[in-house]
A and B are shown apart, each in its own frame.
Chain A
Amino acid sequence: MRIPAAPATLPAVSSSVPLPGWDPAWSRLVPIATVDGQRTLHVLDTGDVLAQAGVEPDGTILAVHGNPTWSYLWRSLAAATVRAALQGKGPVWRVVAPDQLDMGFSERLPHGALPRPAAAAGAPDPVSANDAGYRTLGGRLADLDALVTALGLDVQARAGHPLLTLGHDWGGVVSLGWAGRHQELVAAAMTLNTAVHHDESEPIPAPLQAALAGPLLAGSTVLTDAFLRVTTALGHPGLDSDLKAAYHAPYASPERRGGIGGFVADIPVGPQHASHPELRRVAASVADFARPALLLWGPKDPVFLDRYQADLLQRLPQADLHRFETAGHLLAEDVDIATPILRWAGQVLDGTARTRNPEGAVLTTPGDAASDVGSGTVGSGWNETTGRPLWSYLDDWRDSSAPALVDMAGDDQTPLSWNRLSCVVDAIATGLVARGVRPGDRISMMVTPGRDLTAALYAALKIGAVVVVADAGLGVAGMTRAVRAARPDWVIGKVPGLAVARSQRWPGRRLSVSTLPTPLARALGVEDSLYRMARDHEGTRFAGPRHADGTVHVPAPTDPAAILYTSGSTGPAKGVLYTHGRLAALAGLLRDVFHVRPGSSLLAGFAPFALLGPAIGATSVTPDMSVTQPATLTAQAVAEAARAGHATILFASPAALRNVVATAGQLGPEDHAALGRIDLVLSAGAPVHPKLMAQVAGLFPRAEFHSPYGMTEALLLADIDREAIIELSSRSGAPTAEGTSPDDGVCVGHPVGPVRIAIDPLQADGNPTGNLLEGLDAAGVLGEVVISAPHQKAGYDRLWLTDSLSRRDAKDGLDWHRTQDVGHLDAAGRLWIEGRLQHVAITAAGPVAPGGPEARIDAVDSVSRSAVVGIGPRGTQAVVAVVEVATTDRARPPRPGLASAELTAAVRAAAAPVSVAAVLVTDRVPVDIRHNSKIDRSRIAQWAERVLSGGKVGTP
């Protein structure tokens, strides 16, 4: 079959193909001087629209689509930039996005034959076209060059007008390749899913194998629209039919689709392919690109797999990366890409985006997401203000026989001395380095808290490796998502975890904890075990890994230490990056504020804190419990652990404490004596009810009771003690002595140590103002809680946009963190939490935070738990109260649905002055797994919206 030439055209908007979101004013035809003569491209160019509006662009974004899309892909960016320009918001960007030759509405070249894979032989100019005249990578790079020249973008760039490149799919290869060769013209490069290098040891992604199979290529790409249809079916969620029609519009017949097949035929699948050398040149030039780079990635892409993202990150270590966990190949359709692109492009103009120096070191700027993430510097950097290195007690107390660890959950419950722990940590660190672990390597720890995890963790910290902790509470799917995002170099696990890693094809080399039988180790892909390392390197002192020049590497306070995953109770779990310095600051805070001191014995049933004992010089005691199910902690287990470890401090969640109280009947006199030696009970993870506190106080007669407030991003922020909780609860519901109305929500106390807490008031539309209030200025004002502390997160991992938005404040030159909690300060400076920002109901009367009315409804006799949610459109939402009814053992719980008249009246009265549209009863208010306390209000809102629209009741 021959494919005839056809001129470029302007896309026609019609009722059958409405091209939603496309503005014909953007369309233009641009003749370009290519290697084989003048050709005409159809180009999306917002330049004219901006000129007509009289605005001058501050920069230009040159965007290149892939196969088989066209410049329609960039319409949301074009629209957003024009809108921002007309509204005078931020810098003005011109978007220039060509349809590549043979693609979209650009000129069709004549082809004597259908495209064939790897058809290089006999082509007159194999660099730019193959034997049937289909453009190759080299030709496409030259075409882009010709367009830049035709539009004078090169002249502008040389005159100082910033030019940013953007690409997607094979357009990513073209745009990155062009940027790599023209660094003198390019201010920064951005790309969505793409790949510039394929490791030949890896298989070709499955969807391409079919298209690339020689005999099928033309059939699937040109003769039929199969390849096109498969691509436009990759939306998450699926594309509307109008959008699909828009993508299909320029490719209606086989004569129009030659370029699709030509593109596929040009995929350099092996070294024998004609475009292979060109792709290698592109990959090399990308690795030399020292300007700022942005990667926006949709992980659900069946073609551009995570390994291509990892490759790009290696070539562009300065790159900012945001992974949109819910998006795939067509992330430009799946998510809003304009917001991150414009935010990031603004930083390029400000000069605050990260670059790289000629030696390849990443240069950071103050206030940047990774400003205190080290760049591999040698030397300690530890001093008075940074606090002690996390492993310092292990070194200092190497000769101590005092107990460092007591693990009641493991097989061996005998206390492990500081001497033994120190030796084991050094031996494992030596073994890990011998195995190939390097500073900066990521190690995913699939190990439950206890002695094994503690030893592995401190070995990794001493090396300067980054520990990735995603707890099993996320479930297999959630953990897999987290591990794929963090992309560890190593996975350390026990058999169940390693089996999951194997079946879910997690990245990373595998190490087991105990030494596995060879067949099992082989089946799980396990290379070595920690126990073998501990045995083989017993007695070796580990000073640190050695650099090539023989110097010893000691992790600096600014080096990354750990990535902790959030519970994922509000969307996909996020990786939270901590540096050594920030964890050391946390240890210091525990010591200074909570009196967890060298010599204390910390019985921790709460995951993050179970690991900090060795860093503080405190004995760590792990009770026999399932850490992912805090409610499995029994009084007996606490007493046994307390006895064995001479515990002085108990750290547990309210869910765990509830069960401890519930099982206290089993305790004997010796058990009570052990509990009587505990002098501090810390309850974290959720607010604690005064009734529970009184019961806990009965079990631990000598103990002070504190309930700290924090989150994965900043583990300790505020603290309230028992006396304050009791005092506040005694006056709840009644006006205070000062005559003001009682505070809404849950009081979490005063900020601790150096923590600063500010409130950003919510406006009527529910959005914060951006103005941080502190102290009395914030008293009684509902807003987002924004904090600043030396021990807060160093950043979110591979979530550039989330990170950038969370740290957008600059008050007093500090690094702030937006918690997305809402609440207020009281006149005494205490923080009250009233819920999550995304759970605030935006009613016609203004924002309503759930915490206040929920607390009042919970006080209604027959209610055991409640959730207050908004349904309907933001701005005019109706407030709905969903309650779980307290039932006696024999009474049947009420059927989910409308509450009785009496209960409705009682709940409405309790919620006042908040006006409640409906009161629904459910058998169970869903809560998160990790804390058994965070109410899943989004799920409840969905259920309420369904029921109150007349849908089936069911359960939330």
Chain B
Amino acid sequence: MSAAPPLRVLVTGASGLLGSGVARRLVESGADVVTLQRRPSGVAGARDVLGTVTDAAAVEQAMAGRDTVVHVAAKVSVSGPAQEFEQVNIGGTGTVLEAARRAGAERFIHISSPSVAHAGTSIVGEGAGPADPGRARGHYARTKAAGELLALTADSAELRVLALRPHLMWGPGDTQLTERIIDRARAGRMPLLGPAAALIDTLYSDNAVDAVVAAVTAVDRVHGEALVVTNGEPRPVGELIRGLATAGGAPEPRLRIPGGLARGAGAVIERIWEAGDLGRDGDEPPLTRFLAEQLSTAHWFDQRRTRAKLDWVPAVSIDRGLELLAAHYRRR
């Protein structure tokens, strides 16, 4: 049996936890990896192209000779002006897709989000519904929905596109969710909304990396669709927040806000943030309606199709992940 030629991969957004993790794992597996992001990726063995996905020239340059694209880059935030989201999440995706097509790439893993199909009501054991920019809540979800549709529309026999929707990723080094919860819990500012019992699926970061790497292989068999990726272990949101906070050495959050009040307050704060200067330093508003909904309604998914299609199961359980997270913070 002759060894297959090494994959030639472009990973966009490799300065983040997921992108860098995927790039690193691909390098380890022998792939030829190029990354594209504003700051150096720090991934040993990968060739960094510095730039953004909105810069067609930089994309063109990074795409040269690639047969596989893992498109992680996105504007990820729960607030901010609409235009920025559109430029990155729709325009940027379009640019990367177009470059991939022209470069003759064969595989395209598009990292999306379950919020693209979510209209604010509870999700209880459902699969991945179709992305719906018309109903998605907030700029992020709306533009990610349009971006996913763009990517899946580009799917063909020549360029096989598979969208993955990791849900609430956390783990050592995650600044989006893990770090914020721990910081706020330390400051006594992490609220629990209502009874905090809503069942939520999350994804430990190493599992997310594994799933994306599995998708790079799986995309030859399964493409043109979106798969939600989670640990398959839903937990009450209060328990997760408690677990993350204590793993980070913070006290158990005690601040409780009624869920309905939080949703209303979130909507107000969100608009103030958008209109004023408060968000300029890159900080997030303390609460958004989207976040309040996320934290007070159930979100858990049917993982059977995802696991079967990707031929992947999460290697790290939530309990084990929390232990690893605690060890990480003890070392710091």
Are A897 and B197 within 8 A (Cβ)? yes
A357 interface residue per 8 A CB criterion: no
Q: A950 contacts which of B122, B304, B307 (Cβ < 8 Å)?
A: B122
B210 interface residue per 8 A CB criterion: no
Are A897 and B195 within 8 A (Cβ)? yes
Bitwise interface map of B from 184 to 212 toward A, beta carbon under 8 Å scored 1, else 0: 00000000001111110000000000000
Question: B30-38, B174-182, B230-238: which one contacts chain A?
Answer: B230-238
Are B232 and A949 within 8 A (Cβ)? no
Question: A242-250, A308-316, A640-648, A914-922: which one contacts chain B?
Answer: A914-922
Bitwise interface map of A from 872 to 905 toward B, beta carbon under 8 Å scored 1, else 0: 1101111000000000000000000110010010
A844 interface residue per 8 A CB criterion: yes
Bitwise interface map of B from 97 to 115 toward A, beta carbon under 8 Å scored 1, else 0: 0000000000000000000
Question: How close is B57's CB to chain A, nearest CB, in angstroms?
Answer: 46
Bitwise interface map of B from 230 to 251 toward A, beta carbon under 8 Å scored 1, else 0: 0011111011001000100000
Are A898 and B239 within 8 A (Cβ)? yes
B300 interface residue per 8 A CB criterion: yes
A953 interface residue per 8 A CB criterion: yes
Are A950 and B259 within 8 A (Cβ)? yes
In the complex, which residue of chain A has the Cβ closest to the Cβ of B121? A949
Across-interface contacts of B125 in A (CB, < 8 A): 871-873, 876-878
Across-interface contacts of A906 in B (CB, < 8 A): none
Across-interface contacts of A904 in B (CB, < 8 A): 239
Across-interface contacts of B252 in A (CB, < 8 A): 901
Query: Please, how many angstroms separate the alpha-carbon atoms of A948 and B308 in the complex?
Result: 27
Question: How close is A168's CB to chain B, nearest CB, in angstroms?
Answer: 36
Are A949 and B122 within 8 A (Cβ)? yes
Question: How close is A843's CB to chain B, nearest CB, in angstroms?
Answer: 10
B218 interface residue per 8 A CB criterion: no
Are B239 and A918 within 8 A (Cβ)? yes
Are A876 and B199 within 8 A (Cβ)? no
Are B302 and A875 within 8 A (Cβ)? yes
Are A898 and B195 within 8 A (Cβ)? yes
Query: Please, how many angstroms separate the alpha-carbon atoms of A575 and B242 in the complex?
Result: 51
A947 interface residue per 8 A CB criterion: yes
B124 interface residue per 8 A CB criterion: yes
Query: Please, how many angstroms separate the alpha-carbon atoms of A949 and B239 in the complex?
Result: 14
Q: B197 contacts which of A844, A901, A948 (Cβ < 8 Å)?
A: A948
Q: B296 contacts which of A871, A918, A920, A950 (Cβ < 8 Å)?
A: A950
Question: Which residues, 853 to 885 on A, are CB-close (under 8 Å) to B?
Answer: 871-873, 875-878
Query: Please, how many angstroms separate the alpha-carbon atoms of A135 and B279 in the complex?
Result: 77
Query: Please, how many angstroms separate the alpha-carbon atoms of A835 and B259 in the complex?
Result: 36
Are A875 and B304 within 8 A (Cβ)? yes
Q: A898-B197, A949-B199 are in contact. Are A878 and B242 (CB under 8 A)?
A: no
Across-interface contacts of A950 in B (CB, < 8 A): 122, 194, 197-198, 259, 296-298
Are B304 and A917 within 8 A (Cβ)? no
Question: How close is A836's CB to chain B, nearest CB, in angstroms?
Answer: 21
Query: Please, how many angstroms separate the alpha-carbon atoms of A878 and B300 in the complex?
Result: 9
Are B236 and A948 within 8 A (Cβ)? yes
Are B197 and A920 within 8 A (Cβ)? yes
Question: How close is A956's CB to chain B, nearest CB, in angstroms?
Answer: 13
Across-interface contacts of B232 in A (CB, < 8 A): 844
Interface centre among B197, B235, B298, B303 (most CB of A within 10 A): B197
Are B197 and A947 within 8 A (Cβ)? yes
A945 interface residue per 8 A CB criterion: yes
Q: B199 contacts which of A873, A915, A948 (Cβ < 8 Å)?
A: A948
Are A876 and B303 within 8 A (Cβ)? yes
Question: Which residues, 904 to 935 on A, are CB-close (under 8 Å) to B?
Answer: 904, 915, 917-918, 920
Across-interface contacts of A949 in B (CB, < 8 A): 122, 124, 198-199, 297-298
Query: Please, how many angstroms separate the alpha-carbon atoms of A876 and B230 in the complex?
Result: 13
Question: How close is A97's CB to chain B, nearest CB, in angstroms?
Answer: 36
Query: Please, how many angstroms separate the alpha-carbon atoms of A901 and B236 in the complex?
Result: 12
Q: A871-B124, A948-B198, A950-B296 are in contact. Are A844 and B304 (CB under 8 A)?
A: yes
Across-interface contacts of B197 in A (CB, < 8 A): 897-898, 918, 920, 947-948, 950, 953
Interface centre among B198, B298, B303 (most CB of A within 10 A): B298
Across-interface contacts of A873 in B (CB, < 8 A): 124-126, 302
Interface centre among A844, A877, A898, A945 (most CB of B within 10 A): A898
Question: Which residues, 114 to 144 on A, are CB-close (under 8 Å) to B?
Answer: none
Query: Please, how many angstroms separate the alpha-carbon atoms of A947 and B298 in the complex?
Result: 9
Question: How close is A776's CB to chain B, nearest CB, in angstroms?
Answer: 33
In the complex, which residue of chain B has the Cβ closest to the Cβ of A878? B234
Question: How close is B128's CB to chain A, nearest CB, in angstroms?
Answer: 13
Question: How close is A619's CB to chain B, nearest CB, in angstroms?
Answer: 56
Across-interface contacts of A953 in B (CB, < 8 A): 195, 197
Q: B304 contacts which of A876, A920, A945 (Cβ < 8 Å)?
A: A876
Query: Please, how many angstroms separate the alpha-carbon atoms of A953 and B122 in the complex?
Result: 16
Are B196 and A898 within 8 A (Cβ)? yes
Query: Please, how many angstroms separate the alpha-carbon atoms of A901 and B238 in the complex?
Result: 10
Bitwise interface map of B from 288 to 332 toward A, beta carbon under 8 Å scored 1, else 0: 000000001110101110010000000000000000000000000
Question: How close is B112's CB to chain A, nearest CB, in angstroms?
Answer: 21
Are B195 and A918 within 8 A (Cβ)? no
Across-interface contacts of B196 in A (CB, < 8 A): 898
Across-interface contacts of B198 in A (CB, < 8 A): 948-950
Query: Please, how many angstroms separate the alpha-carbon atoms of A947 and B297 in the complex?
Result: 10
Across-interface contacts of A947 in B (CB, < 8 A): 195, 197
Are A876 and B302 within 8 A (Cβ)? yes
Interface centre among B199, B234, B238, B242 (most CB of A within 10 A): B199
Q: A875-B304, A949-B297, A950-B259 are in contact. Are A917 and B195 (CB under 8 A)?
A: no
Query: Please, how many angstroms separate the alpha-carbon atoms of A877 and B232 in the complex?
Result: 11
Question: How close is A908's CB to chain B, nearest CB, in angstroms?
Answer: 8
Question: How close is A883's CB to chain B, nearest CB, in angstroms?
Answer: 14
Across-interface contacts of B124 in A (CB, < 8 A): 871-873, 945, 949
Across-interface contacts of B234 in A (CB, < 8 A): 878, 917-918
Are B233 and A915 within 8 A (Cβ)? yes
Across-interface contacts of B259 in A (CB, < 8 A): 950
Across-interface contacts of A876 in B (CB, < 8 A): 125, 302-304
Q: A873-B124, A878-B125 are in contact. Are A918 and B298 (CB under 8 A)?
A: no
Query: Please, how many angstroms separate the alpha-carbon atoms of A207 and B9 in the complex?
Result: 74
Query: Please, how many angstroms separate the alpha-carbon atoms of A917 and B252 in the complex?
Result: 20
In the complex, which residue of chain A has the Cβ closest to the Cβ of B300? A878
Bitwise interface map of B from 102 to 142 toward A, beta carbon under 8 Å scored 1, else 0: 00000000000000000000101110000000000000000
In the complex, which residue of chain B has the Cβ closest to the Cβ of A950? B198
In the complex, which residue of chain B has the Cβ closest to the Cβ of A896? B195
In the complex, which residue of chain B has the Cβ closest to the Cβ of A908? B319
Across-interface contacts of A898 in B (CB, < 8 A): 195-197, 236, 238-239
Across-interface contacts of B233 in A (CB, < 8 A): 915, 917
Query: Please, how many angstroms separate the alpha-carbon atoms of A557 and B90 in the complex?
Result: 80
Bitwise interface map of B from 69 to 104 toward A, beta carbon under 8 Å scored 1, else 0: 000000000000000000000000000000000000
Across-interface contacts of A945 in B (CB, < 8 A): 124
Are A917 and B302 within 8 A (Cβ)? no
Across-interface contacts of A871 in B (CB, < 8 A): 124-125, 199
Interface centre among A898, A915, A949, A950 (most CB of B within 10 A): A950
Interface centre among A877, A915, A917, A947 (most CB of B within 10 A): A917
In the complex, which residue of chain B has the Cβ closest to the Cβ of A895? B195
Across-interface contacts of B126 in A (CB, < 8 A): 873
User: Which 9 pairs, one residue from A and one from B, show the smallest C-beta to C-beta distance?
Assistant: A872-B125, A950-B198, A876-B302, A949-B298, A948-B199, A950-B297, A949-B122, A873-B125, A950-B296
A-B contact pairs, 23 of them (CB 8 A): A844-B307, A873-B125, A873-B126, A873-B302, A875-B302, A876-B303, A876-B304, A877-B125, A878-B199, A878-B234, A897-B197, A898-B196, A898-B197, A898-B238, A901-B252, A915-B233, A917-B235, A917-B236, A918-B234, A949-B122, A950-B194, A950-B197, A950-B198
Binding site for B on A (CB under 8 A): 844, 871-873, 875-878, 897-898, 901, 904, 915, 917-918, 920, 945, 947-950, 953
Q: With A844-B304, A873-B124, A920-B197 given, can you name 5 additional A-B contacts, CB distance below 8 Å?
A: A878-B199, A897-B195, A917-B199, A917-B234, A918-B235
